[in-house]
A = this chain, B = another copy of it.
Amino acid sequence: MTANILLVGSGGVGTIAALNLEAGGLASVTAVLRSNYSKVTTDGFHIKSIDHGEITHWRPSEILNKIPHYSNKHFDYIVVTTKNIADTTPTTAELIAPAVTPGKTVIVLIQNGLNIEKPLFEIFPQNVVLSGVSRVDSHEIASGVIEQVDHDRLIIGAFRNPTPNLNIESGVDNETDADAAARHFVQIYSAAGKTDCRYVPAEEVPFYRWQKLVYNACMNTICAITGLDTGRIQLAEGAVENLVRPAMNEIVAAAAAVGVRLPADIVDKMIAIDPVTAYLRPSMLEDVGRGNLTEFENILGEPLREGTARGVSMPTATFLYHTLKAIQWRVKEEKGMVTIPSRNV
């Protein structure tokens, strides 16, 4: 049986996900496009992929320019690959809400950061929400043109539903359903055999999310604030030892405080994960440079709050957080989302 999948966010990560999902023949993908809608409607996607080769005029099964309503079409899965930008509307939960069949649709969040599932479980306490931790170097280099330069690696597992007494009230075993949904999604995603998509049990999901946060919460944010890419941050005297390493150590300590034990060498591994001479520019660095809002709340704010609530000392992360919050305020003001008193001297 073909699964009906709605894809929200069809940029670098989302389009490769759509391609993987349809390539195996077990899914029919409806993609909701925004900025590239008219371009892709006319010409399709042009994809240059290390996993799939060069593909032109590619389209998912259906293309929409707004979120459909579940009463018109039932989706087995909604895959979300947008960023989580705090203080903006609609939130991810509000955005996808019309398309979610209550108690049925499985929501798959292929997004960075912590506690991203909480607003979803609040609105849809009887739906399954899956975690996707993606490591794919794929970008939309022009409207509808996707370049994937590194292999797709995706780790899928269920988020534990925090709703109290859920199974008793609903009469279903949500945990079993969630794990089964995660396994099924991995099967669909992997069917073409062109990607490394792995199932992990729900109890291991926090490990993989925190593991990626060690990098994202620190490297992305410090690059964004200093204007240095991942190579230059390693070359700049003292930046790794005085900024990156202390911040990463604090995230590791926060993880330990919530019960997630990361490997002893994780900080060294994360610092060296990309070769210096790749000079990668994290998307948060690009976003700040272009005057865009960033997803700093889920990337850094949530791990900081989890750690400090448990008494972990996190001075570097605290400073990074408040600096990014001030930068976010500046961008909001530049975008007219905040008004200030007129100049008067």
Contacts and interface: CB of A to CB of B under 8 A. Distances in A.
Q: Among A315, A319, A341, which residue has the most Cβ atoms of chain B within 10 A?
A: A319
Given A243-B319, A316-B319, A319-B243, A330 B277 contact: no
Contacts of A227: 327, 330
Given A276-B341, A333-B232, A343-B279, A242 B315 contact: no
Interface residues of A, number: 41
A220 to B, nearest CB: 15
- The complex is assembled from copies of this chain, and their number is 2
A323 B322 CA distance: 14
Interface string A299-331: 000000000000000011011101101110110
Q: Among A236, A318, A330, which residue has the most Cβ atoms of chain B within 10 A?
A: A236
A274 to B, nearest CB: 9
Contacts of A231: 340
A345 B275 contact: yes
A251 interface: no
A72 interface: no
A327 B275 contact: no
A173 interface: no
A194 B277 CA distance: 58
Contact of A238 (B242, B322, B343): B322
A278 interface: yes
Contacts of A323: 225-226, 243, 323
Nearest to A341: B277
A326 B275 contact: no
Contacts of A232: 329-330, 333, 340
Given A239-B322, A243-B322, A316-B319, A226 B330 contact: yes
A342 interface: yes
Contact of A319 (B228, B276, B315, B325): B315
A327 B243 CA distance: 12
Contacts of A222: 326
A344 interface: yes
A233 B333 CA distance: 12
A227 B278 CA distance: 28
B237 A329 contact: yes
A233 to B, nearest CB: 7
A141 to B, nearest CB: 15
A236 B326 contact: yes
Given A236-B325, A276-B341, A315-B319, 8 more contacts: A149-B345, A225-B225, A226-B327, A236-B329, A239-B325, A239-B326, A242-B325, A319-B319
3 closest A-B pairs (Cβ-Cβ)?
A315-B315, A236-B329, A242-B322
29 contacts: A222-B326, A225-B323, A226-B323, A226-B326, A226-B327, A228-B326, A228-B329, A231-B340, A232-B329, A232-B330, A232-B333, A235-B338, A235-B340, A236-B329, A237-B329, A238-B322, A239-B322, A239-B326, A239-B329, A242-B318, A242-B322, A243-B326, A277-B342, A278-B345, A279-B343, A315-B315, A315-B319, A319-B319, A323-B323
